[in-house]
């Protein structure tokens, strides 16, 4: 082999290794960016979760009050019906 051929193959191997290295770095960059995006979405969900839980507690409290008032009204209606004279 001549010196030119050896240099040519060394350059080819160097280009191949550089291509693999750049491709690997690019793929890791894409994967990390996707992981970061997923983490951001998870954080947003956690922030929204606290708001939703608070709203759910408020709705549950209001619903409990409404059910209590309806139960009291039902008992009042039952008492009134018992006290009415029958014809």
Is 1 strand, coil or helix?
coil
**Is the pTM higher than 0.75?**
no
pLDDT at 50: 84
Which tens digit of pLDDT belongs to each residue from 51-70?
888 888 888 889 999 999 99
Q: How confident is the model at residue 28 (pLDDT cuts 50, 70, 90)?
A: very high
E strand or H helix that includes residue 87 = none
Question: Per-residue pLDDT averaged across 11-30, rounded?
Answer: 97
pLDDT at 29: 97
Checking if the pLDDT of 85 tops 90, the result is no
First to last CA, the chain: 124
Alpha-carbon span 10 to 48, nearest angstrom = 57
């Amino acid at each position: 082999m001549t010196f030119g051929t050896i240099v040519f193959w060394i350059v080819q191997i160097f280009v191949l290794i550089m291509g693999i290295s750049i491709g690997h770095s690019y793929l890791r960059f894409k994967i990390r960016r996707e992981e970061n995006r997923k983490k951001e979405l998870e954080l947003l969900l956690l922030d929204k979760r606290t708001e939703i839980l608070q709203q759910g507690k408020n709705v549950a409290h209001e619903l409990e009050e409404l059910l209590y008032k309806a139960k009291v009204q039902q008992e009042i209606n039952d008492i009134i019906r018992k006290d009415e004279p029958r014809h």
